[in-house]
């Protein structure tokens, strides 16, 4: 089992809509530091499966570390979605779920800046965490564009109205209901967001909504580096099942060597040139944080202090982060004989 996995008791289950529930966790005092989180991050949940033993799913935190006593995630049923249906049907107060510590890079750069938040359906979950954090702990103005099928499917409807009453000068919510306006279009979204294009944008929702919103923003001249997109997808691997700790192939003497700073200690390992850094370090017994192993979540980010590396693919780091030397261990290969990396950011 992943060393970052912990069993947490469910403190409360809140039915948000007919299709969505919020799970509020009770984190014991001894794990408080482990479960510190930033607005916009997610938890990875282990869901039992008769066929596979378990499956892993990532659910964004809807709570804010700045104003909520307990952390919480919201889960919406999806058609034929085994994990979401299992959670909605089976999880109750005092249930125990195994979860990984918080991860994710969909985090606001500053709580003091004005932000434009765009969400559809359950994509409101991390957006809600960001909105509450900016309003409660920051000074920025928040504009939220939120698309749903109809009024009954609006997750956090009551909470959003309460926030609007509490922060009338700083929060503006624009609902897009498909039953009245049809599916969101780039032209329609552009009309709503045009006054706010000077802000950082945080976007989460189904692929069609994300594409329409991105097209709208780019058409209004918003640069790609100011559009932050959180994508939901199933994991191809299960981080709750530890990979076999076998020596990586090809680690002959004279090949690349990596010098690693991790958790206050330093290590040196042979690094076969076709083996991702994460695989090398896990095989060596280091408890490197990871979730997806697919470049999407950003959990295994580290910095290259010296030497040259390349990534096989990158779906979570932006140009500014790459310029600072950040890389994803799950995708990183060596391109020089000696590389120095650090995980203590």
Q: Provide the domain count of the chain.
A: 3
Q: Give the full edge-to-edge strand order of the sheet including 115-120.
A: 171-177, 142-148, 115-120, 200-204, 227-230
Q: Is residue 338 part of a domain?
A: yes
Q: Are 125 and 205 in contact (CB under 8 A)?
A: no
CATH number at residue 303: 3.10.20.30
The pLDDT of residue 37 is 96
Task: Indicate if 53 and 16 belong to the same structural domain.
Answer: yes
The pLDDT of residue 290 is 87
Task: Indicate if 82 and 185 belong to the same structural domain.
Answer: no
Average the pLDDT over 244-260 and give the result. Answer: 65
Rounded CA separation 345/340 (Å): 14
Domain that includes residue 277, residue range: 257-342
Q: Is residue 16 part of a domain?
A: yes
Q: Is residue 42 part of a domain?
A: yes
The pLDDT of residue 253 is 54
The pLDDT of residue 1 is 60
Q: Is the pLDDT of residue 140 over 70?
A: yes
The pLDDT of residue 333 is 96
Where helices occur in 64-118 by DSSP H, the ranges are 82-90
Rounded CA separation 297/277 (Å): 16
The pLDDT of residue 3 is 73
Rounded CA separation 144/167 (Å): 13
DSSP letter at 109 equals S
Residue of higher predicted confidence among 198 and 235: 198
Distances from the Cα of 179 to the Cα of 46, 142, 268, angstroms = 35, 25, 60
Name the one residue in this structure whose structure tokens are 């909504």: 209
Task: Indicate if 168 and 210 belong to the same structural domain.
Answer: yes
The pLDDT of residue 335 is 95
Residue of higher predicted confidence among 297 and 189: 189
The pLDDT of residue 115 is 98
Average the pLDDT over 122-141 and give the result. Answer: 97
Task: Indicate if 188 and 223 belong to the same structural domain.
Answer: yes
* Short-list 314, 267, 323, 262, CA closest to 292: 314
Per-residue pLDDT band at 319 (split at 50, 70, 90) = confident
Per-residue pLDDT band at 249 (split at 50, 70, 90) = very low
CATH number at residue 85: 2.40.30.10
Q: What confidence tens digit (pLDDT) does each residue in 283-295 have?
A: 888 988 888 888 8
CATH number at residue 201: 3.40.50.80
CB-based contacts of 93: which residues, under 8 Å, 6+ apart?
Answer: 10, 11, 12, 13
H-helix or E-strand containing 138? none
Instruction: Provide the CA 336 distance to its chain's centre, in angstroms.
Output: 32
Q: Is the pLDDT of residue 242 over 50?
A: yes
Task: Indicate if 28 and 71 belong to the same structural domain.
Answer: yes
Q: What confidence tens digit (pLDDT) does each residue in 149-181 have?
A: 999 999 999 999 999 999 999 999 999 999 999
Task: Indicate if 88 and 161 belong to the same structural domain.
Answer: no
Q: Are 278 and 266 in contact (CB under 8 A)?
A: no
Distances from the Cα of 272 to the Cα of 22, 171, 252, 269, 341, angstroms = 44, 52, 8, 10, 15
Rounded CA separation 339/259 (Å): 6
Task: Indicate if 89 and 150 belong to the same structural domain.
Answer: no
Task: Indicate if 94 and 167 belong to the same structural domain.
Answer: no
Q: Is residue 304 part of a domain?
A: yes
The pLDDT of residue 295 is 83
Q: Is residue 92 part of a domain?
A: yes
Q: Is residue 295 part of a domain?
A: yes
Residue of higher predicted confidence among 64 and 323: 64
Percent above pLDDT 70 for the chain: 94
Task: Indicate if 224 and 130 belong to the same structural domain.
Answer: yes
H-helix or E-strand containing 186? helix 186-193
Q: Is the pLDDT of residue 248 over 60?
A: no
SS3 90: helix
Q: Is residue 170 part of a domain?
A: yes
Distances from the Cα of 221 to the Cα of 32, 74, 104, 190, 195, angstroms = 42, 33, 27, 11, 12
Instruction: Report the mean per-residue pLDDT for the chain.
Output: 92
Q: Which residues pair with 115 in a beta bridge?
A: 142, 200
Q: Name the CA radius of gyration of the chain, rounded.
A: 21
Q: Is residue 44 part of a domain?
A: yes
Rounded CA separation 20/18 (Å): 6
Distances from the Cα of 83 to the Cα of 55, 57, 78, angstroms = 7, 7, 9
Task: Indicate if 177 and 208 belong to the same structural domain.
Answer: yes
Q: Which of 77, 103, 129 is the endpoint of a domain?
A: 103
Q: Are 79 and 66 in contact (CB under 8 A)?
A: no
* Short-list 298, 345, 338, CA closest to 324: 345
Per-residue pLDDT band at 106 (split at 50, 70, 90) = very high
Task: Indicate if 188 and 272 belong to the same structural domain.
Answer: no
Rounded CA separation 264/282 (Å): 17
Task: Indicate if 133 and 220 belong to the same structural domain.
Answer: yes
């Amino acid at each position: 089992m992943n060393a970052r996995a912990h069993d947490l008791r469910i403190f409360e289950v809140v039915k948000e809509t007919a299709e969505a529930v919020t799970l509020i966790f009770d984190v014991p005092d001894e794990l408080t530091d482990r479960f510190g989180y930033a607005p916009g991050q997610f938890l990875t949940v282990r869901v039992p499966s008769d066929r596979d033993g378990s499956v892993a799913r990532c659910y964004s935190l809807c709570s804010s570390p700045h104003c909520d006593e307990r952390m919480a995630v919201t889960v919406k049923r999806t058609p034929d979605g085994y994990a979401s249906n299992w959670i909605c049907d089976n999880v109750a107060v005092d249930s125990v779920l195994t979860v990984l510590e918080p991860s994710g890079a969909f985090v606001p750069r500053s709580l003091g800046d004005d932000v434009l938040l765009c969400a559809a359906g359950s994509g409101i979950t991390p957006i809600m965490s960001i909105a509450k954090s900016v309003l409660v702990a920051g000074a920025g103005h928040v504009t939220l564009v939120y698309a749903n099928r109809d009024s009954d499917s609006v997750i956090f409807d009551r909470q959003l109205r309460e926030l609007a009453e509490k922060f009338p000068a700083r929060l503006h919510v624009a609902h897009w209901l498909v039953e009245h306006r049809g599916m969101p279009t780039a032209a329609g979204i552009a009309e709503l967001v045009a006054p706010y294009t000077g802000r950082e944008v945080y976007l989460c929702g189904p692929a069609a909504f994300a594409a329409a919103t991105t097209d709208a923003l780019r058409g209004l001249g918003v640069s790609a580096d100011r559009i932050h997109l959180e994508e939901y997808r199933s994991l191809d691997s299960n981080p709750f099942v530890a990979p076999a700790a076998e020596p990586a192939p090809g680690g002959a003497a004279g090949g690349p060597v990596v010098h690693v700073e991790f958790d206050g200690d330093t290590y040196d390992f042979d690094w076969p040139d076709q083996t991702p850094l994460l695989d090398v370090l896990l095989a060596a017994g280091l408890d490197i944080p990871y979730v997806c192993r697919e470049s999407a979540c950003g959990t295994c980010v580290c910095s290259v202090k010296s030497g040259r590396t390349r990534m096989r693919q990158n779906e979570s780091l932006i140009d500014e982060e790459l310029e600072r030397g950040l890389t994803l261990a799950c995708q990183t290969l060596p391109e020089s004989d000696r590389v120095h990396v650090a995980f203590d950011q």
